[in-house]
C-alpha cells in the first residue's frame, strides 16, 4: 500500500507548495496526479521528490521497497539518473562515491555500463572505453544492460572507423528493442533509443533518426519519465534543418528541449540551443 498521506502531510508540515517541491524535478501536474491517487510518477522522480522532503522510498512504499539497499546501490541509482539526465557534474561527483572494494556482483554491471557510457558518449575516449570493455562480463549482463552495452558499442565502433561493425551493432540492438513491450522506468530503454537515434544522425540518415526520436518521445510519454527527452526534441530540430519545416514547429521543439534541459541541468543541450540562437 502506498502511503501517499505521509507524503502529503510531510510536504504540508514543511510548508512546501506543490510548485516548489516539483521545481527541477517534474511538472506540477505529475505531482498533483500522485497526491490525488491517480498516477505514480517514474521511479527517478519519486526518489528526487522524497529526498527533497527528507523521506525515503520506504516511507512511501513500505511494502514494495526494502530497507536493505546498500550505499553503493543508492549511489549508483542516483549516478545513473544523473548520467541519463546528462547532468555530468553530478554524475562525476556521485560515481566517485562508489566504494569499489565493497561492490557486490549485482552492482558491478551498472557501475561498468555507466562508466562505458561516459567514456564513449560523453568523452569519446576510445582508449578508456577499450579498458572498460575488457572488464565487462557481457554474457552475464541482463537484457537491458546488454542492449545498452551494444548501443554504446555501435558508437564506439563508429568512432574507431569500424563502420561495418557499428552498423551491425545498431541493427542487432534495434531488432531486439522493437520486440520489447515492457514499459521501462529505469531510463535504460530511453538511453538505448537515444543512442540508436544519435547513431543515425551521425551517419546522416536523418529520416531514420527522426523516426527513432519520435519513438523515444512516445516511450517517455508511456513511462511518464523525461530521460533523454530534450535530446529527442533536439534531434528533431537538427533533422528539421535538412527539410523545409515550418518555423513555429521548430521553435516549439527548441523550447521543449530548452525547458527539459534546464530541469535536468543538461548543459550540453543548453549550450547547443544558445549557439543556434546566436547563429540566427
Mean pLDDT of the chain: 89
Residue 182 has pLDDT above 70, yes or no: no
Nearest to 148 by CA among 108, 180, 116, 104: 116
Higher pLDDT, 25 or 92: 92
Cα distance between residue 189 and residue 156, in whole Å: 19
The pLDDT score that the predictor gives to residue 16 is: 93
Kindly tell me if the per-residue pLDDT of 156 is higher than 70: yes
DSSP E strand stretches across the chain: none
Q: How many CA atoms lie within 13 A of 50 on its CB side?
A: 19
User: For residue 273, what pLDDT band results from cuts at 50, 70 and 90?
Assistant: very high
| Calpha distance 60→11 (Å, rounded) | 13
Secondary structure (3-state) at 121: helix
Sign of CA dihedral 137, 157, 85, 194: negative
Predicted pLDDT of residue 67: 47
User: Is the pLDDT reported for residue 262 higher than 70?
Assistant: yes
First-to-last C-alpha distance (Å) of the chain: 53
186 has a pLDDT exceeding 80: no
CA angle 49, 255, 197 (to 5 degrees): 85
CA 161 from centre of chain:
27
Q: 220: closest CA among 41, 29, 32?
A: 41
In this predicted structure, what is the pLDDT of residue 75?
92
- Max intra-chain CA distance, the chain: 59
pTM of the shown model: 0.76
pLDDT at 65 over 50: no
* Confidence class for position 23, pLDDT limits 50, 70, 90: confident
Q: What is the pLDDT of residue 128?
A: 96
Among the ranges 42-56, 205-219, 243-257, which has the highest mean pLDDT value?
205-219
Q: Is 33 exposed, middle or buried (0-12, 13-18, 19+ CB in 10 A)?
A: middle
Backbone angles phi, psi at 200, to 5 degrees: -65, -35
What is the pLDDT averaged over residues 40-56?
Answer: 83
Per-residue confidence at 1, pLDDT binned at 50, 70, 90?
Answer: low
pLDDT at residue 221, as a whole number:
83
Residue 228 carries which DSSP code?
Answer: T
Query: Where does the pLDDT of residue 158 fall: very low under 50, low under 70, confident under 90, or very high at 90 and above?
Result: very high
| Neighbouring C-beta atoms of residue 174, cutoff 10 Å | 20
Is pLDDT at 63 greater than 60 in this prediction?
no
Alpha helices in the chain (DSSP H): 4-13, 18-22, 28-35, 43-53, 57-60, 71-84, 88-95, 108-117, 126-135, 143-159, 163-178, 188-202, 206-223, 229-240, 247-264, 267-279
Measure the CA–CA gap between 249 and 237, rounded to whole angstroms: 9
Predicted confidence (pLDDT) per residue in 108-139, tens digit? 999 999 999 999 999 999 999 999 999 999 98
Say whether pLDDT at 57 is over 70. Answer: yes
CA distance 198 to 183: 22
CB 135 within 8 A of CB 112: yes
User: Does the pLDDT value for residue 42 go beyond 80?
Assistant: no
Amino acid at each position: 500500500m502506498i502511503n501517499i498521506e505521509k507524503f502529503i502531510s510531510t510536504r504540508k508540515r514543511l510548508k512546501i507548495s506543490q510548485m516548489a517541491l516539483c521545481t527541477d524535478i517534474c511538472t506540477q501536474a505529475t505531482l498533483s496526479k500522485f497526491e490525488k491517487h491517480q498516477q505514480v510518477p517514474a521511479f527517478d522522480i519519486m526518489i528526487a521528490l522524497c529526498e527533497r522532503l527528507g523521506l525515503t522510498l520506504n516511507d512511501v512504499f513500505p511494502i514494495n521497497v526494502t530497507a536493505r539497499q546498500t550505499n553503493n546501490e543508492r549511489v549508483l541509482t542516483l549516478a545513473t539518473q544523473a548520467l541519463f539526465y546528462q547532468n555530468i557534474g553530478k554524475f562525476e561527483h556521485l560515481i566517485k562515491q562508489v566504494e569499489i572494494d565493497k561492490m557486490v556482483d549485482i552492482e558491478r554491471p551498472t557501475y561498468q555500463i555507466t562508466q562505458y557510457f561516459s567514456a564513449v558518449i560523453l568523452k569519446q575516449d576510445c582508449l578508456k572505453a577499450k579498458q572498460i570493455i575488457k572488464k565487462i562480463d557481457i554474457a552475464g549482463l541482463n537484457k537491458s544492460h546488454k542492449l545498452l552495452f551494444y548501443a554504446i558499442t555501435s558508437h564506439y565502433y563508429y568512432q574507431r572507423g569500424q563502420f561495418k561493425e557499428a552498423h551491425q551493432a545498431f541493427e542487432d540492438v534495434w531488432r531486439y528493442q522493437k520486440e520489447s513491450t515492457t514499459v521501462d522506468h529505469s531510463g535504460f530503454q530511453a538511453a538505448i533509443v537515444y543512442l540508436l537515434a544519435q547513431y543515425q544522425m551521425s551517419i546522416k540518415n536523418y529520416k531514420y533518426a527522426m523516426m527513432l526520436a519520435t519513438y523515444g518521445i512516445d516511450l517517455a510519454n508511456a513511462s511518464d519519465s523525461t530521460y533523454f527527452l530534450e535530446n529527442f526534441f533536439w534531434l528533431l530540430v537538427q533533422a528539421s534543418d535538412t527539410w523545409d519545416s515550418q518555423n513555429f514547429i521548430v521553435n516549439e521543439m527548441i523550447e521543449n528541449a530548452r525547458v527539459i534541459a534546464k530541469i535536468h541541468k543538461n548543459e550540453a543541450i543548453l549550450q547547443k540551443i544558445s549557439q543556434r540562437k546566436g547563429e540566427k
